[in-house]
Copies of this chain bind each other. A is one copy, B any other.
Amino acid sequence: MGKEELGRCEGKSRILIVGGTGYMGRRFVRASLRLGHPTYVLFRPFAGLDIEKLQMLFSFRNSGAHLVKASFDDKESLVAAVKQVDVVISAMAGNHIRSHAIPEQLKLVEAIKEAGNIKRFLPSEFGIDPDKMMDAIEPGNVTFIDKREVRRAIEEAGIPYTYVSANCFAGYFVGGLAQLGRLTPPTDRVFLYDDGNVKAIWVDEDDVATYTINSAVDPRTANKTVYIRPPANILSQREVIELWEKKCGNVLEKICMSREEFLNLMKGQDLAQQIGMTHFYHMFYDGCLYNFEIGEEAREASELYPHVTYTTVDAYLDHYLTIA
């Protein structure tokens, strides 16, 4: 990666990744191995029926990870898995367009409570902070309701936790210039949410993983939320578009879309699309990622781990130069 990789943790912790074959989970596995932690990956029965997942698990083992068999339908197996490690990071799917397994984590919370040995649990979050979203609109509020339910269960069980709020994943948001349904830059015209001037925060998924592993073993982040706000990546949609225009030498036609137009567009979409669009709405009209101060009770990742050289949005956009 060409990045300075050493964490600030003194020793190394045994880290179990749950959901290790998913989009973020595989990055947590690789980052944990890269940072030198004894890394364990939960091997659930269905993974044995999916050749891509199975072969990915084998590749993790070839890279030094331990595979731990357990099923969410067998609590004792989960407890036994959890007892082998110090830290548990869940990357279970929380994206309705792919799948949504957030509530299933309550079984993991129960197992961690029963095992009694876990020094830190990171539930699957890595997006918008659900506790800031008490007034989110339907139907996308389901994501926040479910994540809050998991948070409260963790807190009631007295399990030490860290909640990582990672903002916009670059792969999903930067390449498509935050256009709905696009992962690569448009060549002709681009839609702006309102005037495109609301600040958002865009983070390379590999950096999310590096910051997450660092924070999972850091005494300073115990029972705290960690926001990932790399300073160079706090940018409005318009600023991201301008970075791209400068890079590719092509000026795009800009079409501003009002809140009302956006909400009208949601009607008639399927539920998963509507949920995703609700999140776009709160991020790009309300500015929910950056309309609050972090305060004393939480921490910011790039401040905690200044040795991590994160990928800037400007550099990230280079990926798209030869394919646009």
Contacts and interface: CB of A to CB of B under 8 A. Distances in A.
Chain multiplicity (copies): 2
Interface in A119-147: none
A54 B320 CA distance: 10
Contacts of A23: 51-52
A172 interface: yes
Interface residues of A, number: 24
Contacts of A57: 323
Contacts of A58: 319
Given A55-B171, A171-B55, A323 B48 contact: yes
Contact of A49 (B49, B67, B69, B183): B183
Contacts of A61: 322
Interface in A160-213: 171-172, 175, 181-184
A40 interface: no
A172 B323 contact: no
A57 B175 CA distance: 14
Contact of A48 (B43, B50, B183, B322): B183
Contacts of A54: 171, 175, 183-184
Interface in A29-49: 43, 48-49
Interface of A: 23, 43, 48-52, 54-55, 57-58, 61, 67, 69, 171-172, 175, 181-184, 319, 322-323
Given A51-B171, A61-B322, 18 more contacts: A23-B51, A23-B52, A43-B323, A48-B182, A48-B183, A49-B182, A49-B183, A50-B183, A51-B172, A51-B183, A54-B171, A54-B175, A54-B183, A54-B184, A55-B171, A57-B323, A67-B322, A67-B323
